[in-house]
Chain A
Amino acid sequence: MDAFNGRIPAGIWGLSAVLLAAAVMLPFMLSPFQIRLAQQILLFGGMAVAWQMLGGFTNYWSFGHTAFFGLGAFAAGLLAQQLDPSLSVAVKLAIGTVFAIGLALVAALAIAIPVLNLRGIYFAIAMLAFAEILAEITKTFDAFHGTSGFPLPALLVPGLTKVQLFYFLFLLLFLTNIAVFVWLRRSRIGMGLTCIGQDEDTAAMLGIPTERYKLVAFVLSAVLTAIGGVLYGYSLGFISTGSVFRIDISLNLILYTMLGGIGTVAGPIIGAALMIVLTQVVLGNLLDLHMMLTGAVLIAMVILAPKGLMGLARKAWDRRRGAAEGRP
């Protein structure tokens, strides 16, 4: 393994630049349906990267990230209704994002203090319960309009269609998530989190401020997920509890990460791309089988390739290099 904060090789920079250029040009060449697929890959792949900020390094697997996703969407949406109607939609979106960030920050800090003391399965289920509580609250109290749903203002930019516009917004968030994740992984915090993942008690004994590192990762992950919720809400134009507080969002983030390879940047993105294309294009006409296929892929990956596609690729690469150098 390379030093955790060594220089990023030029090849990776080059590849990233090419991919970025392709991603910027893509929406001008694809059909609206294809752009919508790409949108989802960017949004949910990016959110899976955000999920990894805690779950990728440690065993703290949040099964309730949709809590922050829904929180962001509801915060921005309900705020937009209260704001002065004469404000432009872009300003509303900006204010809504700031509000959602603040709210997610407060919520994440409040829930983190008790929940991060739980380990393993208990943490996973506590997060699931947290997401359910938020979903139930938005449904129970009429002030949140969770059951009936409510509209969000339509964001328009001249020269771009709606799908193209949100494609670029999702791309922006996607890049932010990757940048934050890469920074985190190369920082002291990332090293500390990796130690926590290996053995938390030993890490604490060696003087790693485990509580603080877990908190930083959890809050970063929550805030970035909430921004995803804001953008998703605006892209839908109408949200309800059922459309943003969805257990399947939480679980898909884990599935994408597992499928691609946990702990890597490219893994969750490849996982998201593969699953989204598979379920929406290949099986588009077989809606009944979506869930069965998701389940089968999940089981197959856990049994056959616990380190994901990236793990398989790395293994194959090592074997080839070993053969080239005459090693067994």
Chain B
Amino acid sequence: MNGTLLFQTLVDGLILGGIFSLSAVGFSLIFGVLGVVNLAHGVFILAGAYIGLWLKGALGLDPLAAIPVVFLVLAVIGGALQRTLVSAAVQRGSLMTSLLITFGASLILRDLLILAFGPDIQSLSSTWLLRTYHVGGVVIDGARATGLLASLVLLAMLAIALHAMKVGRAIRATAQQSFAAGLCGVDSNRIYTLTFGVSAGFAGASGIIIGMINPFSPFDDAYWTLNAFVTVVLGGVGSPVGALLGGLMLGEISTLSSQYIGPRFPNVFIFCALLLMLIVRPNGLLGNAYKASV
């Protein structure tokens, strides 16, 4: 086995995994705190990429600089969706109905994306991202290096916010036991809206990074939603560390199987890993960050 090739594959998997992690962390947070599986997650990611594209075209804003704007826009959309539809569904029906609501929302949002931007494949790449770097025989291009770095920075920011800030403590408390958190003066409805908004914001930010590396179209949303789910099931529910672990595993499974078994096999392996983990340990390797592990 060729050592450099193996190393290159591992590095590629790491980079892919970092991006998967960021794209899944919002999904993971919503699932951990609200118990809702957000099937509109993939559309949030794509919406982020498209808003970045629009900002680039209209204002000439660099994709990386657009991340805060995109984060805010998506946070408002996500918060509004939770406040109006998701909370109503959870109150009236069960958590299962929230699947239907978010799926319905994803269909509408995707159609809006198609109407606004057309069904074509787009890309966010900039010229300065195309430079390649050679580090000890391993080739890394600027876009991927930037993407990995930005992903890690954003994940670290979320981890710090969740653990060190007051609002992060309130989010964790609500996830553990919303009733008891309410007794301590936490407005759990506000926390739910906030969590949904922040998660949508992270999805949008990851959309920018995905757009810098890969071309995207409005029809990719199911792929990203499923990826997020696989990441959460592999790593663990509700925490940035779980998302990071799951994302890295997903990235490595994907690059190793396509390098050493065949370029058409990663999906089969990924879904088999998903099914296996669901059966063995449905809350991921790290379990649920907020509840006692099953």
Contact = CB atoms under 8 A, between A and B. Distances in A.
Top 3 closest pairs, chain A to chain B, by CB: A295-B107, A298-B104, A292-B111
A89 B17 CA distance: 50
Given A125-B37, A126-B275, A298 B282 contact: no
A133 interface: yes
Nearest to B40: A295
A281 interface: no
B4 interface: no
A295 B108 CA distance: 6
B171 to A, nearest CB: 21
A230 B93 CA distance: 35
Nearest to B222: A247
Interface string B128-146: 0000000000000000000
Contacts of B111: 288-289, 291-292, 295
A136 interface: yes
Interface residues of B, number: 39
Secondary structure call for the B interface:
helix
Chain A interface bracket (under 10, 10 to 19, 20 to 34, 35 or more): 35 or more
Contacts of A302: 89, 92-93, 97, 100-101, 104
B107 A291 contact: yes
Interface of A: 59, 61, 63, 114-115, 117-118, 120-122, 124-126, 128-130, 132-133, 136-137, 139-140, 247, 251, 254-255, 258, 288-289, 291-292, 294-299, 302-303, 306
A254 B100 contact: yes
A295 B105 contact: yes
Nearest to A113: B279
Nearest to A296: B108
Contacts of A288: 111, 114-115
A219 B19 CA distance: 39
Interface string B252-294: 0000000000001101100110110011001000000000000
Given A132-B267, A132-B271, 6 more contacts: A128-B226, A133-B271, A140-B264, A292-B107, A297-B104, A302-B100
Nearest to A292: B111
Nearest to B89: A302
Contacts of A122: 278, 282
Contacts of B106: 295
B268 A129 contact: no
A269 B93 CA distance: 22
B172 interface: no
Interface of B: 37, 85, 88-89, 92-97, 99-101, 103-108, 110-112, 114-115, 222, 226, 229, 233, 264-265, 267-268, 271-272, 274-275, 278-279, 282
A289 B106 CA distance: 13
A59 B96 contact: yes
A303 B104 CA distance: 12
A299 B101 contact: yes
Contact of B268 (A125, A133, A294, A295): A133
B275 A299 contact: no
Contacts of A294: 104, 107
A250 to B, nearest CB: 11
Given A129-B278, A140-B268, A292-B107, A124 B88 contact: no
Contacts of A306: 92-93, 97
Contact of B95 (A121, A129, A136): A121
Contact of A295 (B37, B104, B267): B104
Contacts of B94: 59
